[in-house]
Amino acid sequence: MNKKLSHAGIAALLLLVIAGCGEKPAAAPSNEAGQNSSTVVSGAGENTGNTEGTNGDEGQNSASTAQPTASATPASTEPAAPEKQSQSIAVYFTDSQLMDLVPAKATISFADDVEKYTEAFKALQASDNTELVSLWSKIELKSLKYENGQVLMDIHKPEEAQLGAGGEAFAISALTQTFFQFSEVKSVEMLVDGEQVESLMGHVDLEHPMTRENSGL
């Protein structure tokens, strides 16, 4: 009996072992299912990355598309031209007999100081009144500068611009009275063809520079 019981126990153990071995293959699908599940997750991640890449490409395409539009209308870098202002001034002429110096009104337009005094000199060169004679009409203004209260002008005087002693004195007086009406002008330096000369026409000493004091104003 004991032997039969022991054999029966062994047989039962064998059945348990066999049953245990039979359960292991059944667990395999569970692992495979896990692998498949992880594969799906991985696939989803890849799809998400591709979607982001696509969005990024679309953003880049949008940016690249916008660039030509921005560069198509460049901002202007040219400075605006300064506005001109007008001023009424007194200019000085002489009568037809060169007996007296006569003031007249003129209107000049200018954007800066250099143009202001250049236009003032031009006003000296032409009279709207046929009874008044310009003493500077035949003299050429080669250049004019203004700095620190001084007008520096370089002129050319042809032979036909030559005047007598009275005409020369009137010409210098007409010039100084015209320029010194501007309170900011402290002196006038006149050169003839780039050089200082003792006299403009050989009769009257030419001061270097001319001021209100030495011009009797």
Q: What is the pLDDT of residue 214?
A: 94
Domain hosting 8: range is 1-62
What HEC string does 17-42 produce? HHHHHHHHHHHHHHHHHHHHHHHHHH
Residues 119 and 207 in one domain: yes
Instruction: Judge whether 204 and 176 are in contact, CB under 8 Å.
Output: no
Is 49 inside a domain boundary? yes
Residues 98 and 50 in one domain: no
Q: Write out the chain's pLDDT in tens, 217 residues.
A: 444 445 555 655 566 655 555 554 444 444 444 444 444 444 444 444 444 444 545 544 544 455 555 555 556 577 777 789 999 999 999 998 889 999 999 999 999 999 999 999 999 999 989 999 999 999 999 999 999 999 999 999 999 999 999 999 999 999 999 999 999 999 999 999 999 999 999 999 999 999 999 998 8
Q: What is the pLDDT of residue 31?
A: 46
Q: What is the pLDDT of residue 7?
A: 54
Residues 118 and 205 in one domain: yes
Is 189 inside a domain boundary? yes
Residues 58 and 89 in one domain: no
The CA-atom distances, in angstroms, between 113 and each of 26, 143, 187, 206 are 105, 13, 14, 24
Split into its structural domains, the chain has a count of 2
Q: What is the pLDDT of residue 33?
A: 43
Tokens 């667990």 appear where? 27
Q: What is the reported pTM? A: 0.63
Is 98 inside a domain boundary? yes
Q: What is the pLDDT of residue 163?
A: 94
Residues 106 and 56 in one domain: no
Q: What is the pLDDT of residue 18?
A: 58
Residue type, 89: I
Tokens of 11: 């047989």
Q: Are strands 210-211 and 187-192 parallel, antiparallel or unpaired?
A: antiparallel
Is 6 inside a domain boundary? yes
Query: What H or E segment, with its residue span, contains residue 14?
Result: helix 2-71
What is the rounded CA–CA span in Å between residue 121 and residue 157? 14
Is 77 inside a domain boundary? no
Is 72 inside a domain boundary? no
Residues 46 and 147 in one domain: no
Residues 104 and 193 in one domain: yes
What is the rounded CA–CA span in Å between residue 171 and residue 156? 15
Q: What is the pLDDT of residue 103?
A: 95
Residues 5 and 95 in one domain: no
Residues 99 and 163 in one domain: yes
